[in-house]
Amino acid sequence: MTSFDEIYEVYLNRVVDRGLAKLIEEEDRYKDLQLKLQMAIARFTDLKDIEVDFDARTITKTTSDDGKLSLDEIDILVCWMIVEWATPLVLNENAIKERLTSTDYALYSPANMLNQMRNLLTESERRADRLSVKYGYLKNSKYGKTSRW
């Protein structure tokens, strides 16, 4: 089985979220991360044969000998978590303003920053979607490989 913490560690190494860092209570951080993970699992439709235990904070892959997710599967879940992280930033310009110092916000017009965030979201969605499609193709190919491409 794969613990949520293993997935969160990869996610937190890719995304520096000051808002998440401000959540002093560890349980609040876990709730935020768990919500992103739940949405990532829902969006990664080719990830089958898993059992998610929210109480134990684990994902067990029933078709794997050791029950662990592969690194590729974790990578794709993290990509979808990044999409979930970026979406509200694009939808809410106030969130962007809060993430910048007043000097940075004055240097960049909100329209330019919003455009940059939209580009980030689009690129993140494309990467997550591309990896998901590749995963599904390789998983369903006659060779049944899901190893690193």
Q: What pLDDT is recorded for position 17?
A: 67
The C-alpha atoms of residue 41 and residue 39 are separated, in whole angstroms, by 5
**Per-residue pLDDT averaged across 57-70, rounded?**
88
Confidence band for 132, pLDDT divided at 50, 70 and 90: confident
Burial 68-87 (b: 16+ CB within 10 A, else e): bbeebbbbbbbbbbbbbbbe
Residue 80 scores a pLDDT above 60: yes
Q: With pLDDT > 70 as the criterion, what percentage of the chain qualifies?
A: 71
Of 89 and 78, more confident: 78
Residue with tokens 């970026």: 86
Amino acid sitting at position 15: V
* Poorest-pLDDT segment among 36-45, 70-79, 80-89: 80-89
